[in-house]
Amino acid sequence: MKKARVIYNPTSGKELVKKNLADILSILEECGYEASAFATTPEEGSAKNEASRAAKMGFDLIVAAGGDGTINEVVNGIAPLKKRPKMAIIPAGTTNDYARALKIPRDNIIKAAEVIKKNQTVKMDIGKANKTYFINIAAGGHLTELTYEVPSELKSIFGYLAYLAKGAEMLPRVKPIKVRMEYDEGVYEGNASMFFLGLTNSVGGFEKIAPDAKLDDGKFSLIIVKTANVFEILHLAALMLNGGKHVEDSRLIYTKTSHLHAETLETNSPMMINLDGEYGGDAPMKFTNLHQHIEMYANADAIPANAIMGSILDEYNEETKSAEDEDEYLETSREFVKEVERLTEEDIDGDGKIGSNQK
């Protein structure tokens, strides 16, 4: 019989995984797995070490149950191995970007586990940064460094952008850093306030940062923001919220690449690198896309066809979004765009109004 190990964070998601563990194990057994569980501890690398141990013992499936941090650890445990088990995820964190990208229910532990019953998988790309692996994003630059200072309740992209738009005291500290970025299509040398390297289209609950991202094509979505002007950054963010229009703006570079070498050209200005929301070391750093490296259970028939390699569709299938997600997105994006319009006195959304003023 095939074997599955559930690696779960017993404290995440109001302990919902822990409370539903028996049902999760039962679902796995219905799927033909001999199932067992491991509760992570506060010890550094607990989930990573257990994932590596289970994989080497011949487990066929590892289920990461918790937030994006738990998923990242499990991936780091199995990614270096030649023989890697399949993975499944049960989201129990705050943002759950990875579950959002795989269209796995984020508000019901049991329904998330039942996705395994569909027996649908996607061979997912993952990123490697020097010797560390990441599943969703890598970023660097002064703008991203400010996120370390943002209160935890504002860690989502919506909250962080709102924080920027409200003119927080940190904003004047955003400044350019001279960088050298080497990627598939060329080299950029010049000033930048940040770079962003994405594997999925979902960051902080927002799905337009890399609107044409594919999960399995061997390519990162690379964004280099050249401007450090606060209002221009806010304007770019508003364009992003308003239909992903930022990708055509001359104040940034948007491209696809299988690798990136990022370094700062300023000896007295180190560039911190953020990997999946956590500090991952300083530049210089080499990033490599590991094509279709880990096979993940997913709600594959709900993933937009243009997000998986081989699709000929050009438009995002909005029907895959839940009504609740759509309402939250529209409300938050409208508020942000209007706040930026108020600050910049420019009609970004084309409704003839500037912020709260009708002009």
Which residues belong to the active site? 278
Q: How far, in Å, CA of 359 to CA of 352, rounded?
A: 7
Q: How far, in Å, CA of 270 to CA of 265, rounded?
A: 9
Q: How far, in Å, CA of 55 to CA of 32, rounded?
A: 18
User: CA distances (Å), 321 to each of 206, 212, 326, in order?
Assistant: 12, 16, 6
Is 232 exposed, middle or buried, given 0-12, 13-18 or 19+ CB atoms closer than 10 A? middle
- Give Cα 16 distance to the centre of its chain: 23
Cis peptide before 10 (omega within 30 of 0): no
Look up residue 316 and give its two tokens: 């995002």
DSSP 91: E
Q: How far, in Å, CA of 213 to CA of 210, rounded?
A: 5
Q: Residue 135: which of 174, 96, 188, 187 has the closest Cα?
A: 96
H helix or E strand, kind and range, residue 70: helix 68-78
- Is the four-CA dihedral 240, 246, 252, 257 of positive or negative sign? positive
Q: How far, in Å, CA of 262 to CA of 282, rounded?
A: 10
User: CA distances (Å), 305 to each of 11, 64, 212, 302, 308, in order?
Assistant: 35, 25, 11, 8, 6
Within 10 angstroms of residue 227's Cβ, the number of other Cβ atoms is 20
DSSP 1: -
CB 143 within 8 A of CB 195: no
